[in-house]
Amino acid sequence: MKWCCPVFQGWFEQAGKRGLGVFVSTQGNSEPAFILQYRALDPGVPVPRTDSPLSSVSDVNIHFCPWCGSDLRKWYRGGLRELDRSELKVCLQ
Ligand SMILES: [Zn+2]
């Protein structure tokens, strides 16, 4: 994999853990989507009881690398399958 920058690679490797992560989702839409995700909790950890609304996972679609500015779809055209972690995407039900 030829990464656009080491920071993107670092956050891709963190995807699915608590904190930030980046990955590709090919779920649903025909076009692959680059997603910047924030997780408040590690996977499998129960959401604490609270009376306030709480977002345990937040997804933002991005088109350019937030760290080096690369056009992600162009840069990773050949490597989308390796970046595909559709299972991490938030499922809105
Ligand atoms: Zn980058």
What confidence tens digit (pLDDT) does each residue in 40-86 have?
999 888 888 899 988 889 999 999 999 999 999 999 999 999 999 99
In a domain, 46, yes or no: no
Say how many Å lie between the CA of residue 3 and the centre of ligand 1.
7
Q: Ligand 1 centre from 67 Cα, in Å?
A: 5
What is the number of structural domains in the chain? 1
Task: Please state, in angstroms and rounded to a whole number, the distance separating the CA atoms of residues 83 and 66.
Answer: 16
CA of 8 to the centre of ligand 1 (A): 5
Q: What whole-number distance in Å separates Cα of residue 93 and Cα of residue 81?
A: 26
Q: pLDDT > 70: what percent of the chain?
A: 96
Rounded CA-CA distance 85/32 in Å is 11
Specify the pTM. Answer: 0.88
CA of 86 to the centre of ligand 1 (A): 20
Torsion of CA 35, 58, 15, 71, to 10 degrees: 20
Q: How far is the CA of 92 from the centre of ligand 1 (A)?
A: 28
R_g (Cα) of the chain, nearest Å = 14
Domain that holds residue 25: 6-41+55-84
- 93 in a structural domain: no
